[in-house]
Structure 1
Amino acid sequence: MTTRQTLLAATCTLGVVLAAATTVPAQAASLPVVHPRAETSALHDDEAGGNANADDPAIWRNPAAPGRSLVIATAKEGGLRVYGLDAREIQSVAAPAGPGEDDAPGRFNNVDLVHGMRLSGGRADLAVVSDRGNDRLRIYRIDRDRPGGPLTDVTDPAARPVFSADQAEINDQRTVYGLAAWTDKATGRSYTLVSRRNETRLALLELTAGPRGTVGHRTVRTLDLPSSFRLPDGTSWTPCGEPDERPQVEGMVVDPADGTLYAGQEDVGIWRLRADLTGRPELVDKVREYGVPATYDEETEECTPGADPGYGGEHLTADVEGLTLLTEPDGDGHLLASSQGDDTFAAYDRERDDDNEYEAGFRVGAASAALDGSEACDGAAVLDAPLGSRYPGGLLVVQDGQETPADGDRESTGFKFVDLRDVKDVLDD
């Protein structure tokens, strides 16, 4: 996330704050509320907390024992956290340091899963992570009962940076950012789609099996989404930000049924395109702030909005963040998107024939004084499959960007576990 509304300034990590171009819509407060069943321990983005900042989760289902499934989540400079379905930590994996003392440290941004990839030692499930600090993919083999923890680093040591030519470029941090994994049903080949921080570029990377069970990658092609947009009145609009920054993508997910990629351009909306990055992208929905002119103030590092011309959408308040796909056994389902600016989630029909029509919205609200909801959500993951006695109807995991009760002035974040049956009740109403 980069550009943020003023009300979210407490959780802004990149220093650019977009003053609210529109007030939080009244319908956000009236949306139905689902409540979490559990939450992880708070992470703290300070030296004492290991600079850990919750960001993006993925849910791995243990086919032999679904009740012993895992949630694998990124914590930025804090690396990875692995949780059981009781939300208790099982393993912590450190992010690798930079190559030199003055170089950017590892920073794990997004995570997704690849199932059954053929490696030199047999097939394996993998967690693939975008290491924004080092501009690389990090790949971990998942072995639920391995002594020491289920994740083992199998990253090919020869893997090159994704976007940067050298360490100086890496240190500028225009590096790998959002991430979604995809296995092509026709070929069986596995890929990772990644975005570039502060740019509109997407890259398709094929995962490659290396010696001794390692995994590397090669770039297949790239695609640049627009950074400015022609409005109905004939004028051109560019989302406000620092002079050298373009509207980036973070949240991404691929529908495995037909290889459709959904990509959330944070200050713009949700794009639909082919996961192989061919063809023409289509804008499924826009943020409410779409088309609002704004001026960047160097002193305040904020964007001051002008009059709203009324070209924005009705369901997303910038930033549009975590995207995840609710795939139901009958082939139906929903695309879920975090509307970070108003602490809500938007659900769209999975079917492209219906043009991914918006169907419903909801909030994740506090279950009790001790178990709060999700605010400023950055990432989400959903799985519609039985997960033992705790979540027999599936699970939704969402990041909480404002963990409460707060620990003094420390920035506190974490993850909330929501029974998917509660979410489906809302979507079916």
Structure 2
Amino acid sequence: MTRSRKMCFISMTAALGAAALSACAPGEIPLDTRIANALPARIVQASGETEAVATANADAADDPAIWRNAAAPAQSLIVGTDKKAGLYVYGLDGKVRDFTDAGRVNNVDLAEHDGRIIVAASDRNDPLNAHIALFALDRTTAKLSPLGRVASGAGEAYGICLYRDAGTLYAFMVIKDGTIRQVALDLTGAAPAGRIVRTMKLGTQSEGCAVDPANARLYVAEEDVGLWRFDARPGGAVAPVKVAAADGKAIVADAEGVAVADGYVVVSSQGDNAYAVYRLSDEAYVGRFRIAAGALGATEETDGIEVVAGDFGPAFPDGLMIAQDGSNAPRAQNFKLVRWGDIKRALGL
């Protein structure tokens, strides 16, 4: 669903009174007129975009993951899901480097583990039984090689994020009903194996998740409720702690994609096409932004997001954010690339 909203601009028309002009500070987009409590959002613009996914006329593109090539930052890679068809690999120029027909894979994450780049996707080809689809990403050819699937319990697979602890790679599988299972992955054999080490629960539909490895914290978005935090350690407490409510202010439901980087956690406020940012150290709200139309289009109805700090070469010298664009007409959905430094400057971080 596309939401219309007024843009702030200076007009010489007498019909625009001072009260109307004061609604937005310079560099801000106003609130959707139907979301009166939402906080203002600063403007940034995309500096790149991927080619559209092949599934047209459908809600198809969903979630991105980023592999930063430390040796050659401009040769970094993006993995993105077409949740109707499979996984794409893109270069930073947005060109498709590879496509793997994996069927209905919803969210994706990746991690370097034992000398390989491991890509994990939430596999919902069987809506009654969740699986983790695992791949190895070749850093030179940008090709994905299937490793196999790991069962992760009953329910429809929805969100996924990875976490390394004491040499073990874990996947957090977020089931559509809000169940979260931590799965220890064993990739040493001919086929991958997994073991559910603990289960956590949120009350309603949940999806986006990301891990803060420095503090061993898992962040999960419960779509109509808000952002929660869990202990990410396999032996940690399973009770959630609420970080932020989807109360129509910083987060307008749905709370969707979640990303952790550079001392911040970012949440897609899908209900008003914005993104809320919280500081990790004290989980305080620090601001909101929107990706507005410029040389490239705006983002709307964003599902998955990812942020990685660091040098990505001349085009993205101070970090990279990628956001799914739910309305990319006349083409199918795609992913927009934004300089993380632009976002930090817009928010005064």
TM-score by length of 1: 0.70
1:107 and 2:85 aligned: no
Q: Are 1:195 and 1:248, in contact at CA under 8 Å, matched by a contact in 2?
A: no
Higher strand share: 2
The one-letter code matched in structure 2 to 1:417 is L
Find the partner of 1:417 among 337, 340, 347: 337
**2: CA distance, partners of 1:26 / 1:162:** 39
Q: Secondary structure at the match of 1:389?
A: coil
Partner of 2:259: 324
Match of 2:156 in 1: 175
Distance 1:57 1:42, change over 3 A: same
Task: Tell me what 2:299 maps to.
Answer: 374
Q: In structure 2, what is the Cα distance between the partners aligned to 1:317 and 1:77?
A: 26
After the TM superposition, which residues 30-429 of structure 1 pair with which residues of structure 2 at under 5 Å, given as runs?
A: 30-43=40-53, 45-46=55-56, 53-95=60-102, 106-115=103-112, 117-118=113-114, 123-134=115-126, 135-146=130-141, 149-155=142-148, 159=150, 161-164=151-154, 174-184=155-165, 187-197=166-176, 199-212=177-190, 214-225=191-202, 227=203, 247-275=204-232, 276=234, 278-288=237-247, 314-327=249-262, 333-351=263-281, 354=282, 356-368=283-295, 371-404=296-329, 406-407=330-331, 412-428=332-348
Match of 1:23 among 18, 31, 34: 34
- TM-score norm. by structure 2 comes to 0.85
Cα displacement (A) at 1:7: 4.6
Deviation at 1:189, TM superposition (A): 1.1
Query: Are the equivalent residues in 2 in contact too, given 1:43–1:52 (CA < 8 A)?
Result: no
CA contact (8 A) 2:38 2:249 kept: no
8 A contact 1:112–1:181 mirrored in 2: yes
Q: Measure how far apart 1:6 and its partner are.
A: 8.4
Contact 2:90 2:97 (C-alpha < 8 Å) held by counterparts: yes
- What is the deviation of 1:261? 0.6
8 Å CA contact 1:163, 1:175 repeated in 2: no
* 1:241 match: none
Residue type of the alignment partner of 2:251: L
SS in 2 for 1:317: coil
CA distance in 2, matches of 1:189, 1:262: 19
Which amino acid in 1 is paired with 2:254?
D
Alignment check: 8 A CA contact 1:334 1:349 kept: yes
Contact 1:265 1:271 in 2 (8 A): yes
**1:74 deviation in Å?**
0.7
| Secondary structure, counterpart of 2:278 in structure 1 | strand
Q: Distance between the aligned counterparts of 1:391 and 1:91, measured in 2?
A: 22
Q: How many angstroms apart in 2 are the aligned matches of 1:7 and 1:387?
A: 33
**How far 1:26 sits from its partner (Å)?**
6.6
Encode CA deviations 1:246-299: one digit per residue, 9 max, x unaligned.
x211010110002101110001100111113624211111112xxxxxxxxxxx
Structure 1 vs Structure 2 CA RMSD: 2.1
Change (3 A) 1:83 1:180: same
What is the total number of aligned residue pairs between the two structures? 316
Shift of 1:52: 7.7
TM-fit CA distance, 1:190: 1.0
Moved over 3 A (4+): 5-8, 25-28
CA deviation profile, 1:375-396 (whole Å, cap 9, x unmatched): 0000100111101122111111
Contact 1:380 1:396 in 2 (8 A): yes
Q: Is the 8 A contact 2:200 2:239 kept in 1?
A: no
- CA–CA distance in 2 between the matches of 1:216 and 1:279? 23
